[in-house]
A = this chain, B = another copy of it.
Amino acid sequence: MVKIGILGLGTVGTGTVQILRDPVGRHHLLQSIEIQRVGVKSIDKPRAVDLPSELVTTDLDSIVSDPDIDIIVELMGGIEPARSLMLKAIAHGKHIVTANKAVIAKFGDEIFTAANQAGVYVMLEAAVGGGIPVIQPLKQSLGVNRIQRITGIINGTTNYILTRMTVEGGEFADILADAQKLGYAEADPTADVDGLDAGDKIAILASLAFGGRIKRDDVYCEGIRKISATDIAYADKLNFVIKLLAIAERVESGGVSVRVHPTFVPKDRPLATVNGVYNAILVEGEPLGQVMLFGPGAGAGATASAVVSDILAIVGVMQTNSSHEDAVNSPNTSLHPLLSCSHSHYSEMAPLSSLRSSFYVRFLCIDVPGVIGKLGTCFGEHHVSIESIVQTGFQGDRAEIVVVTHEVSEGDFESALAEIRGLDSIASIPSIVRVL
């Protein structure tokens, strides 16, 4: 039997225990896994699963150092004590399975370095895309491709809010409040609506896709707070939907770009049809072309499915006696090279200003007759080529003007905008959204 210790018995922990204690009809290997200890904060909390009381403890340190335990499954969330417990478990030679994107995005460096030294695996399928198999395919099947770009809808809360804004025509704040009431958004929604959670996840995907670590601070994160019902309506008229996209791509001028921002997505793209709490990850590679992986991005069952699949992957390797090592000329390899993350250098990052994007910008203006000319001149002087510029109506006594640019340099666009902000006739710029 393989013995596991679970840290955390909340939403995902409970789902994980439920799968493991009900193995019939699932992969037969599950029957060789035994839950040795489960760590929680409040021992007296009522639990949805009925575990023998001697299994449950608040002494998490004793779990990560228990000599009988082979695998530690970290499902507590948060940075500390999750990070320290994982490092301690690794020091005790235990493999790690985690759903904690925050700690991996921020301390992956430290954790993977320690794991590689100790010769243990750190598995994180559940950290991105809930039940969607994406980490494992990126490490294995898709890894034979040169990955050019990953584009993900990987935050369920924001996709739920944007979907409802699109369907109902409501405003962000109202729908967020309702989503909080319904349990689709947290009391503190910052990590979700400001794109930070998606930023954690795309940093993880980028490091797998491009084979170099990513500094979390280098990931540009822009959330959806500024998206208004007006923008959603314009997008619709122009045949787009607005999605919070997380993008990791190789940039032609060198380096990789990793970023999160709301985006106009043409309605006929597969990603445009991903609605509600569903997630999707589009992987583009050579020679593969485009593959999209779609499914539930969160929830007890889906996330637990990913957690248990990681446990299974480790158990699978533990049960394999490779009789072929001698055929392979790599005496030092002992971890399975498709499960471990062996890279230790950092990917070179391309600054945002080196990218090319199309933009949708909405202006509120004072002096209508002159302003279209001034906008045109300003953009032109900064080499920002415009696809359309339309006065779309009035908001009170302000004229509303919507500009859509061709693909232009982000740097040029920024400098044009800096100048435009100084124009007397521009009252405000309520929204700037990139266009896919």
Contact status A26-B144, CB under 8 Å: yes
8 Å CB contacts to B: which residues of A267-289? Answer: 270, 273, 285-289
User: For residue A334, which residue of chain B has the nearest CB?
Assistant: B321
Q: Give the residues in chain B near A143, CB-CB below 8 Å.
A: 26-27, 309, 312
What residue in chain B is nearest A326 (Cβ atoms)? B318
A143-B26, A273-B270 known; A328-B319 Cβ under 8 A = yes
A141-B309, A315-B328 are known; give 11 further A-B pairs, CB within 8 A: A19-B287, A26-B146, A28-B211, A30-B144, A143-B309, A144-B309, A291-B293, A292-B293, A313-B338, A316-B337, A323-B334
* A57-65, A130-138, A420-428 - interface stretch: A130-138
Q: Does A25 contact B (CB under 8 A)?
A: yes
**29 A–B pairs (Cβ distance < 8 Å), ordered by A:** A15-B287, A25-B146, A26-B143, A26-B145, A30-B144, A70-B327, A133-B291, A136-B140, A140-B312, A141-B305, A141-B306, A143-B309, A145-B305, A287-B300, A287-B302, A287-B304, A288-B295, A288-B305, A289-B295, A289-B301, A291-B293, A292-B293, A312-B338, A316-B337, A316-B338, A318-B325, A319-B337, A321-B333, A323-B334
Question: Looking at A70, A141, A317, which has the most chain B CB atoms within 10 Å of its CB?
Answer: A141
Is the CB of A160 closer than 8 A to any CB of chain B?
no
Q: A319-B325, A337-B320 are in contact. Are A142 and B146 (CB under 8 A)?
A: no
Q: Is the CB of B316 within 8 A of A288?
A: no
The interface residues of chain B lying within 8 Å CB-to-CB of A408 are none
Within the assembled complex, what's the spacing in Å between the Cα atoms of A38 and B94?
Answer: 44
CB neighbours of A137 from chain B (8 A): 133, 136-137
A1 within 8 A of B: yes
Residues of B within 8 A of A230 (CB): none
Could you tell me the distance in whole angstroms from the C-beta of A105 to the nearest C-beta in chain B?
21
Question: For residue A334, which residues in chain B have a CB less than 8 angstroms away from its CB?
Answer: 320-323
Question: Nearest B residue to A143 by beta-carbon distance?
Answer: B27
A29 in contact (CB, < 8 A): yes
- A30 contact set on B, CB distance < 8 A: 144
Query: Is A42 part of the contact surface with B, judged by Cβ < 8 Å?
Result: no
Considering only residues 296-314 of chain A, those with a C-beta below 8 Å from chain B are 296, 299-302, 304-306, 308-309, 312-313
- Using C-beta atoms within 8 Å of the partner chain, give the interface range for chain A: 35 or more
User: What are the residues of chain B within 8 A of A337 when measuring CB–CB?
Assistant: 28-29, 316, 319-320
Q: Are B305 and A144 in contact (CB under 8 A)?
A: yes
- Using a CB–CB cutoff of 8 Å, the interface residues on chain A facing chain B are 1-2, 15, 18-19, 25-30, 32, 70, 119, 125, 131-133, 136-137, 140-146, 211, 270, 273, 285-296, 299-302, 304-306, 308-309, 312-313, 315-325, 327-330, 333-339
Q: Does A290 lie within 8 Å of B286, measured CB to CB?
A: no
A305: B residues at CB distance < 8 A? 141-142, 144-145, 285, 287-288
- A323, B2: Cα distance in complex, Å: 14
* CB of A285 to closest CB in B, whole Å: 7
A290–B285 touching, CB < 8 Å = no
By a CB distance below 8 angstroms, the chain B residues around A338 are 29, 312-313, 316
CA distance A4 to B315 in the complex (A): 28
Smallest distance from the beta carbon of A142 to chain B beta carbons, Å?
7
Kindly list chain B residues whose C-beta atoms are within 8 Å of the C-beta of A336. 316-317, 319-320
How far is B143's CA from A247's CA once the two chains are assembled, in angstroms? 29
CB nearest neighbor in B for A323: B334
Residue of B nearest to A268 (CB): B273
In the assembled complex, the Cα of A286 lies from the Cα of B145 at a distance in Å of 31
